[in-house]
Chains A and B, each alone.
Chain A
Amino acid sequence: MKRSTKRLLRHLALYVVLLAVVLALILSLDWAKVQETFFNADGLKHNWHDLVVTGVKNTVVYTVIAFAAGLVLAVVLALMKLSEVLVYRWVATAYIEFFRGLPALVTILGMAFGFPIATGWRPPGGVLGAGLVGLVVVAGAYMAETLRAGIQAVPKGQTEASRSLGMSSGKTMAFIVLPQAFRIIIPPLTNEMVLLIKDTSLLAFVGATVGSRELTNVARDMMNSGVSAGTATSLTMAAVLYLVITLPLTRLVAWLEKKQQRAR
């Protein structure tokens, strides 16, 4: 048998197996039940408004807040981690390793329910505000590592050129190193944002007022009450909405990475 014929037969066999699996699934499922659970007609008609106006809006707002505040925290942590002062390096390393090692949910719950009680701190926005601080704490830890790598990826010659012009180490960091570091880490930072968008769903565990619920929380409430109560239709819709936000971003990351590789 010729090699090309062999290859053709092998591909054919793979398609047959795939077809068989799909057929078995289709035949074994009760499609009316699947449709009722995930694609309830009333739900599909009436749920969009609250999901978008409340859920998506708050998800985006919380993501932006956590990203911006997390980035500021990350700059401080990254600079501490690269500091000449040993204690600063220790503190930053301990912080980063601690919060990257914990599930984000644990940090968020601890910040929402434990920290305010222990310290008497009254967070703006109540438990939800405190939970959001927890998200910032986690985001800062992850982005600090990214930023540190970015700073170290700026060629040493840049610092040397800047210092040889008489610029202090602070000015060198601010005007020469950080701007270039940020350029380098735009793709991974966009990735962090995608992760953060998904992690805002953890705030659903904290509890919120009707108007301050993010997307997952809104969808979960719709599973319990409303036109599609008792079905997972609102979850399907939330999934679609998440993808509408995250897919363009992940595509953007891929495009940015490709562009950066070409520039080298």
Chain B
Amino acid sequence: MTALSKEQPTSDVPAIEVSQLHKYYGDNEVLKGIDFRVDAGQVVCVIGPSGSGKSTLLRCVNRLEDPTSGRILVEGIDITDPETDLDAVRSRIGMVFQQFNLFPHMTVLKNLCLAQQKVLKRSRAEAVEVARLNLAKVGLAERENAYPAHLSGGQQQRVAIARALSMNPDMMLFDEPTSALDPELVGDVLAIMKDLATEGMTMMVVTHEMGFAREVGDKVVFMDGGVIVEEGTPAAVLGDPQNERTKSFLSKVL
């Protein structure tokens, strides 16, 4: 029994299953046949140099990027199928961006309530209740009437996490969530992500925070040049990398 023991998923359908994913920008192939999998309850950290395609891979999972070819199953649903209701799938996938992307013309509370009301059709009272619960969770209960511009970067990112959580998602995608933050604000955001992982949230995290990947990740995936070079437990990939490119990358960032 480890400290981070998790509820075992009831189904064995993977949360995310990507097969033979190719993505071109014009003639530039940024993803060169990715096979990738996240099981329910798992925390998978994707690391790699910039331009390696890791953010593109993550953005393909909720189709913010259209894959050129390949298949992406989210909880068994093929999201590359044109018949799939993409909005419904997206509402079950929380996404946190590097640049926070809070809605600047709305208060914190409205940021958290809007999609609950418009997508999940929750009543205002219910949405507010859920929102307050999640704001308390990220330690910002007293800031519900603030506008994003009046919050620090760290606070904005915590609100962004709370906004995603308010949709009660089945999984969370994090796209370099701490890269735009001042160093002293990184810790708060990582702590919240760690709490989420402890609660059993399925998470895919593109990050440069090797400490987080080692401590919280169930699996670490190293990408370079549009391919997955190496993957495995944090101890294996970060502690005892087999591939030269992995070794070279880690020697620069660790």
* Contacting residues, chain A, for B203 (C-beta < 8 A): none
Residue A10 interfacial (CB < 8 Å): no
22 contacts across the A-B interface (CB closer than 8 A): A157-B97, A157-B101, A160-B101, A161-B102, A162-B103, A163-B87, A164-B90, A164-B95, A165-B114, A165-B115, A165-B119, A165-B163, A166-B88, A166-B91, A166-B167, A167-B87, A167-B114, A167-B118, A171-B119, A175-B114, A180-B104, A180-B105
* Mask: chain A, 168-202; 1 = CB below 8 Å from B; 0 = not: 10010001100110010000000000000000000
Contact B105 A168 (CB under 8 A): no
**B178 interface residue per 8 A CB criterion:** no
With A165-B167, A175-B114 given, can you name 11 additional A-B contacts, CB distance below 8 Å? A161-B101, A164-B95, A165-B115, A166-B91, A166-B119, A166-B120, A171-B118, A171-B119, A175-B118, A176-B103, A180-B103
Interface status of A260 (Cβ within 8 A of chain B): no
Flag if B105 contacts A167 (CB, 8 Å).
no
Residue from B87, B101, B149 having most chain A Cβ neighbours under 10 A: B101
| Residues in chain A near residue B88, CB distance under 8 A | 166
Known: A179-B105, A180-B104, A180-B105. A167 touches B115 (CB 8 A): yes
Instruction: Count A/B pairs, Cβ under 8 Å.
Output: 62
CB-CB contacts below 8 Å: B77-95 with A: 87-88, 90-95
Cα-based distance from A152 to B238 in the complex (angstroms): 42
Q: Are A183 and B105 in contact, with the CB atoms below 8 A?
A: yes
**Is B167 a contact partner of A157 (Cβ separation < 8 A)?**
no
| Chain A residues numbered 218-263 whose CB sits less than 8 Å from any CB in chain B | 263
CB-defined contacts of B118 to chain A, threshold 8 Å: 167, 171, 175
A35: Cβ under 8 A from any B Cβ: no
A128-180, CB < 8 A from B? 155, 157-158, 160-168, 171, 175-176, 179-180
**Cβ contact within 8 Å between A166 and B97:** no
